[in-house]
Amino acid sequence: VSVEIVLADGRVVRASSEEDPDLFWAVRGGGGNFGVVTSFEFRLHPVGPMIMRGLVAHPVSAAKDVLRLYRDLTASASDDLMLFFALLTGPDGATKLAGIVAGHTGSHAQAEPDLRPLKQFGTPLMDAIGPMPYSVLNSMLDPSFPRGARNYWKAHFMDQLTDEAMDAMIDRFASCPSPMSAVMLEHFHGAAARVPVTDTAYALRKTGYNLVILSQWMDGADDGRGVTWARESYSALQQFTGPSRYLNYLDHDETAEAAVAAAYGANLDRLRKIKGKYDPNNVFHHNVNIKPV
């Protein structure tokens, strides 16, 4: 479990819990702020090769009920069960849907009771849950993000999912200007949420929901509408979010101190000191920047 990294002064070092432990701690969440990582050594555990996964979609008129189901399912989800919710448009470009994407990495014997409440709920327009190779899971949504699409996303973490937040999500989706756009929730839980916050630079170690305003379109003439909808939706939903943000969704216009503090929380001061040691001139700054001290 280590990384090889090229530092700002050109040195190539291998960092681990025994060698350069401060740097090893920082790059696990601080990413490109400290250098260029050229190789990783991971600790893995077996999954699959076949897992249960898929989408169950209902008409958008049932969105509130589907969101409540989603809240109930995530409240008791096992470590093996991944659940995403989305308000989206179907492949026909017209049918509005409320869907839950599930992925279960445990045994089929355990997947069946874990997924039963989802499969038995209501009258879905689509139930595509079934066995799939784990290696295929990571690419199953690729067709929804075609080459050349124009994107502007906003995201913030919600510690809880209230009925009022559900209503606001549904309302914002109703004004969505593109059938390629969506409002999503990603549930965080399990082993990753049990790691102590200060064990790695990555600070989002709690259960909850990552709210994503996914604005996507194809024509450059629609840039204004796409960006405006995302920003207005994000603003309307701010009252339901907490202090944390998921680093991967911060973009070029969110590198201010507030965004950095939301991403790194209590780890930011230590990260700045390590940055001062390994990159005092802030060579690596084209990112959500950690400034050296």
Mean pLDDT of the chain: 94
| Contact yes or no for 4/12 (Cβ under 8 A) | yes
Please check the confidence at residue 222 and state whether its pLDDT lies above 90. yes
pLDDT digits (tens, 9 = 90+) for 174-206: 999 999 999 999 999 999 999 999 999 999 999
| Contact yes or no for 206/182 (Cβ under 8 A) | no
Helices (DSSP H) in the chain: which residue ranges? Answer: 21-30, 63-75, 108-119, 134-137, 163-174, 223-237, 257-264, 268-278
- The phi and psi torsions of 243 (rounded to 5 degrees) equal -80, -15
- Looking at this protein, which amino acid is placed at residue 129? I
pLDDT digits (tens, 9 = 90+) for 18-31: 999 999 999 999 97
pLDDT value, residue 215: 97
DSSP 118: H
- The phi and psi torsions of 125 (rounded to 5 degrees) equal -75, -20
42-46: long-range pairs with CB below 8 Å, 24+: 42/1, 43/1
Give the pair of three-digit tokens for residue 157. 């973490």
pTM above 0.95, yes or no: no
pLDDT value, residue 255: 64
How large a percentage of the chain has pLDDT more than 90?
Answer: 84
Cα 274 off chain centre by: 26
Dist. CA 146–CA 159, nearest whole Å: 32
Lowest mean pLDDT among 145-154, 214-223, 247-256: 247-256
Sequence-separated (6 or more) residues with CB below 8 Å from residue 153: 212, 213, 214, 215, 230, 249, 251
Q: Mean pLDDT over residues 115-129, rounded?
A: 95
pLDDT value, residue 267: 96
Q: Mean pLDDT over residues 259-278, rounded?
A: 94
- Tell me if residue 78 falls in helix, strand or coil: coil
Dist. CA 123–CA 62, nearest whole Å: 10
pLDDT digits (tens, 9 = 90+) for 141-182: 888 899 999 999 999 999 999 999 999 999 999 999 999 999
- Looking at this protein, which amino acid is placed at residue 192? A
Q: Give the angle 212-126-187 at the CA atoms, nearest 5°.
A: 30
Closest-CA residue to 70 (of 62, 22, 252, 34): 62
- The phi and psi torsions of 114 (rounded to 5 degrees) equal -65, -35
pLDDT value, residue 218: 97
Q: What are residue 292's DSSP bridge partners?
A: none
Q: What are residue 3's DSSP bridge partners?
A: 15, 40
Q: Mean pLDDT over residues 201-225, rounded?
A: 96
Closest-CA residue to 259 (of 242, 245, 272, 275): 245
pLDDT digits (tens, 9 = 90+) for 63-88: 999 999 999 999 999 999 999 999 99
Q: Mean pLDDT over residues 28-46, rounded?
A: 90
Q: Mean pLDDT over residues 98-107, rounded?
A: 94
pLDDT value, residue 253: 75
Dist. CA 28–CA 281, nearest whole Å: 21
